């Protein structure tokens, strides 16, 4: 519930800010690949491996000079896989999340933005086998946004890393944390000038 309150507060502040400042903003849709694993902390007979999956969603990009505010709403599959040391048996983890990144960016040169911020995630499959044991996850996002300025001017590329901070394990002996690399293609809905 606190994640939802933070999202609503952020949206309210964003709307208030945009009504007083002279800014430009636009919506976009995005889709891409996740390369995710579940990092482990504690005694275990498994080691974590990366697994490729997908994410898709929408974003709003608000620009004020060289500063960018970018909230997003994503459906994202994370989790990776575990491989048992002795038998080699692989268990694939499918952690389905509704993720809300709230990013702040800086534009050093036109077309390139460095971004960072929190990502609030809510697990949609905690009751199923190979899902996370806890519903809420908080992560730190760092990445870059690149606008294709020439022929593909309505498209952008996002590259980012999400470092999960919350233990999503249901066991007291081993802690699990999400670690995810994302690459996305964005289609931007610019206003006609």
Question: What is the pLDDT of the chain when averaged over all its residues?
Answer: 86
Q: Which residues pair with 63 in a beta bridge?
A: 24, 68
143 token code pair: 């990445």
The CA–CA distances, whole Å, from 129 to 34, 35, 94, 125, 126 equal 21, 21, 9, 9, 8
Nearest to 99 by CA among 155, 32, 188: 32
19 token code pair: 């009504």
Mean per-residue pLDDT, 73-87: 89
Q: Quote the domain boundaries for residue 70.
A: 2-189
Whether residue 100 is predicted with pLDDT greater than 90 in this model: the reply is yes
CATH of the domain at 36: 2.40.160.20
Residue 20: predicted pLDDT: 46
Whether residue 92 is predicted with pLDDT greater than 50 in this model: the reply is yes
- Number of folded domains in the chain? 1
Residue 9: predicted pLDDT: 57
Strand 51-64 relative to strand 95-109, pairing: unpaired
pLDDT tens string 147-187: 987 767 899 999 999 999 998 888 888 888 999 999 999 99
pLDDT tens string 14-56: 555 544 455 789 999 999 999 999 888 888 888 888 999 999 9
Report whether 145 contacts 157 (CB < 8 A).
Answer: yes
Mean per-residue pLDDT, 117-145: 88
Mean per-residue pLDDT, 72-94: 88
Residue 127: predicted pLDDT: 67
Residue 132: predicted pLDDT: 80
Q: Please state, for a pLDDT cut of 90, what percent of the chain lies above it.
A: 55
Whether residue 109 is predicted with pLDDT greater than 90 in this model: the reply is yes
């Amino acid at each position: 519930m606190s994640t939802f309150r933070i999202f609503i507060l952020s949206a309210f502040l964003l709307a208030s800010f945009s009504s007083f400042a002279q800014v430009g903003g636009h919506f976009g849709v995005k889709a891409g690949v996740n390369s995710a694993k579940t990092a482990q902390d504690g005694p275990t007979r498994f080691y974590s491996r990366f697994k490729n999956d997908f994410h898709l969603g929408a974003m709003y990009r608000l620009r004020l000079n060289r500063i960018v505010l970018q909230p997003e709403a994503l459906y994202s599959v994370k989790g990776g896989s575990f491989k048992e040391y002795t038998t080699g048996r692989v268990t694939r983890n499918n952690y389905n999340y509704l993720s809300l990144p709230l990013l702040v960016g800086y534009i050093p040169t036109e077309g390139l933005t460095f971004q960072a911020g929190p990502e609030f995630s809510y697990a949609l499959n905690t009751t199923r086998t190979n899902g996370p044991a806890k519903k809420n996850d908080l992560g730190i996002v760092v990445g870059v946004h690149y606008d294709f300025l020439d022929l593909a001017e309505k498209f952008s590329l996002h590259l980012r890393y999400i470092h999960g901070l919350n233990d999503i394990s249901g066991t007291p002996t081993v802690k699990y944390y999400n670690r995810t690399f994302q690459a996305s293609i964005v289609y931007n809905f610019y206003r006609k000038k």
